[in-house]
A and B are shown apart, each in its own frame.
Chain A
Amino acid sequence: MVLALASVVALILLSIFVVIFFESRESISRYGLNFLITSAWNPVTDEYGAFTAIYGTLLTSFASLLIAVPLGVGTAIFITEDFVNKKIRNFISVMVELLAAIPSVVLGLWAIFILEPFLRPIFQLIHKFLGWIPFFSTSPIGPGIAPAIIILVVMILPIITSISKDSLNQVPQRLRQASYGIGATRWTTIFNVIIPAAISGITGGVLLALGRAMGETMAVTMIIGNSNSFSWSIFSPGYTISAMLANQFGEADGTQVSSLMYAALILMILSLLVNIFAQWAVKKLSLKY
């Protein structure tokens, strides 16, 4: 009986794959792997390619990791070291965890009306001085990839911080004392003893955050501008796979549905790979004391 209930998990996971694959087979047989490298999206002529969306998904998720990892691990170190008294550290820890409880659609609303108008002058400054770099080559005029990256940072920060905090806390106290005992300073100890000992948990957290960033839908859809024309610049509007699904699924039919399913399949495979890799990394990297 309970065996059957437990099997439901496996069944759901399996049927998600089967159903999405089944629904996308028309598009798969029609476009094959070309779907991954073309960026046409035209319901009138039935031409579909997901390159812009895949590029957007990978760019936004990796760029947000680049910012969120140092920020999150730094915060986790602050919470686990005794720089200030425990009350303040607990307060910060709870605050960061509450951030995870804010639904992404509310963050999207905030991003549209508060964050993006606030960031635009800063982006314009970057464009003015660094415009010769392809990534900053267009003038920021509103929703785009850059504000989407920032809102993703806000969304994945709690994951990285709380998981890093937990794994830093689990490092045995005697490792730290031994390090202090041979004359290491606090930060030498953190960099050479504490972080290496906690690296498996931190890596797992970072990979979970990557998976979350790839699949994140609402906040990104609301702020990324939803344009399928490809551009290198992070100030121009773009697309992610999940934003494309959220935008078009309701009104699509025929080959378009099948193509969207194909895109969903790619997203599913990406997040599955990241998740499996995360679980593997936690096992592989964990140090035995």
Chain B
Amino acid sequence: MILLGWTAAKVAGALGFGLGLAGFLGWVERKQSAVLQDRIGANRADIFGWRILGLFHPVADGIKLMTKEDFIPRGVLRPFHDLAPALSLGCCMVCLAALPFGGEFEAFGGSWSLQPLPSPVGLVYVLALLGLGVHGVVMAGYASRSNYGLLGGLRGAAQMIATEVCMAAILAGPVFLYGTLDLQEAVRWQGRLLGGWLPAWGVFTQPLAFLLFLVAGTAASKRTPFDLPEGESEIVGYHVEYSGMKFGMFMMSDFIENIVVCGLGAALFLGGWQVPFAHLGGPLGGAVMLVSFGAKTCALIFLLMQVRWTLPRLRFDQLLDLGWKWLLPLALANFLATVWAVWWLGRHACL
């Protein structure tokens, strides 16, 4: 019973983290882009004259999206048109549960895990559901009965295939090194020290995979410079026929995909909830784990956000070139090198 309550609390916490951060990211995106472009950014929404740096804008956006007319064009394929945003948002929201927000800590005479969904195949679960999310995009484009929407859906599908294959090939390297598909185990593996001083984070043991992961992850979460399914200056995108909160759900799913990808990156490459040179235990240690994981995720989000406002959108052939001619061969080479290195180090008993 207590276990059930604890699990429910963890799931609620993970969802709250994802949804809250997604709403907050709308503000971050506006403000970060404004500051780096020498602007001020949205700062007008106020409550009783309080503006607090425009932090009420996400609230205002939410109210606007909720109360807006849900315009459904004549001729759309009705059940699928309604289903697409839910599928898109649902697929990435369930990914949140598998992220290792924290390890285990001892308290009240028991051991408590901070991961909402401990699973020996956590990584496969996240990758599969991230890939499933594209069904929402394609479905939205197809069910809209609009050429622009359809083009966006097609682009989304081609991009997802190009990047999901690479994503799996990229993550094969670290997975082979850690010897597990369990995200919690992968984080625990990174707790050791290399040579007594360097934390064995994936970013140090698998630098190429980390770089490739950032590229593929950005593409998987459909963010600029890989926002071809939206491409608002060309085709507006797969959600062109949506309005109100259904459009908002697509936007939320973009942000949550971003959070999931960054959380995955933090877990596999930045040592997850680990703090170097510190042994975390007890309730306080649990809190530190949560903070550490959140901070690493947010740092990655910040980096990807900066990339999003720095690079222009790729052309479609450039994207496919990048995916199939560069990411995939490099990822496979990295995998082979990892396999060889693990074999060699295992023979010489260094690892």
Are A and B associated in one complex? no
